[in-house]
Amino acid sequence: MGQFIPNALYVAGMGVSGYYGNREGYRRAIGIFKATAYATSVSTILKYTDREPRPIDSDWKTSFPSGHTTSAFAFSGYVMAEHEYWLGFPLF
């Protein structure tokens, strides 16, 4: 669950921002939630479709694609698209 902490903090922050009058806040909170949900859904489907074995334990066949990487790129890509490059570029 640690992979979703930045995404959840962003959703919470933008939700609070929307509650206090920022029109973009709610839209951004819903947008990052959707981006994270879609990316993780596709990643999970590919994990159980591809069945790539893990390097150390070949019995466990859910190593590709990485859910942590998928979540991180969904977060950084969305923030880069919604905010200026000075904030989004370092996230990559």
| Start-to-end CA span in the chain (Å) | 20
The pTM (predicted TM-score) of the whole model is: 0.77
For 54, other C-beta atoms within 10 Å of its C-beta total 12
Residue 20 has pLDDT above 90, yes or no: yes
Structure tokens at 52: 């790539």
Rama region for 51: left / alpha / beta (φ>0; ψ in -120 to 50; rest): left
Residue 53 falls in which region: left (phi positive, over 0), alpha (psi -120 to 50) or beta = beta
Residues 39/71, Cβ–Cβ less than 8 Å: yes
Domain coordinates in residue numbering, the chain: 2-91
What's residue 92's pLDDT?
75
22-77 per-position pLDDT tens digit: 989 999 999 999 998 999 899 888 888 877 777 777 677 777 777 888 888 888 88
Which one is predicted more confidently, 81 or 91?
A: 81
Using alpha carbons, select from 21, 1, 26 the residue that is nearest to residue 82.
Answer: 26
